[in-house]
Amino acid sequence: MSQNDSKLVKRRTVLKGAAWSAPVVAAAAAMPVSAASVTNPGCGCLQVGSLGAFTAQAVTVLNLGTVTGTMAYNLDSTGCDTGFFKPAYTIVGVGGTISFSDGTSNQFTVGATTGAGTIGQISAFDSTFSVIGQINMPDDAIPPYSPKVPTRVCFTFTAIFIPILPLPQIECTYQLCYDITSPSSLGTIILGTGTVNWSDLTPSNPVLTPQ
């Protein structure tokens, strides 16, 4: 066989191999996204993780306090199985309540729960709240302030799971409640006026409930 004939045989062999490989590439490119492994996360998959510190302040005039506060916490989405894809999700707060040791409770006048997390991870969030000029605060001339302390806080928010084809957007409403077990109080209220600050470094008993 001449050198030219040998080159011709090798060229035909390469072309034959290329002809077999071309349809495989085309088939892979034509594979629909829906063929990937994806599942609906479901509203019950989100769990509450660890709690951070709770802080609140009551600015009081004529024995009516404007109470504002904040809470940091983690949400655990490791149980939200969406298959191969791990989309992001956001949460948006829509209200809540704060309860006190005298048996009273108040709805938030303003509440803001915002943040973003990733499915399959533990993500950090925070919630702020305000109850404007509605909370009765008795006088207490001797600090620390003791007639009334927060005992329980509940936030309500909507978790929005961002869609990834073929999954649709999913919105789930939750209520997160926790106990203020050992609040410290600084400040006093005299003749209906004063400022009190509360803090609890170890709030407890978090419960996250789908609504």
- Give CA–CA dist 167/119, Å, rounded: 13
| Assigned token pair, 136 | 């009765």
pLDDT in tens, 82-137: 665 667 889 999 899 999 999 999 999 998 998 999 888 899 999 999 999 999 99
pTM of the model: 0.76
Residue 31 pLDDT grade (very low, low, confident, very high; cuts 50, 70, 90): very low
Q: What is the pLDDT of residue 78?
A: 86
Answer whether 153's CB lies under 8 Å from 95's CB.
no
Q: What is the pLDDT of residue 42?
A: 67
Q: What is the pLDDT of residue 49?
A: 86
Query: DSSP 3-state assignment of 124?
Result: strand
Residue 34 pLDDT grade (very low, low, confident, very high; cuts 50, 70, 90): very low
Q: What is the pLDDT of residue 211?
A: 86
Residues in the chain: 211
pLDDT, the chain, mean: 81
Nearest CA among 72, 53, 70 for reference residue 128: 70
pLDDT in tens, 196-205: 999 999 999 9
* Residues β-bridged to residue 174: 157, 210
Every domain of the chain and the residues it spans:
3-31, 47-210
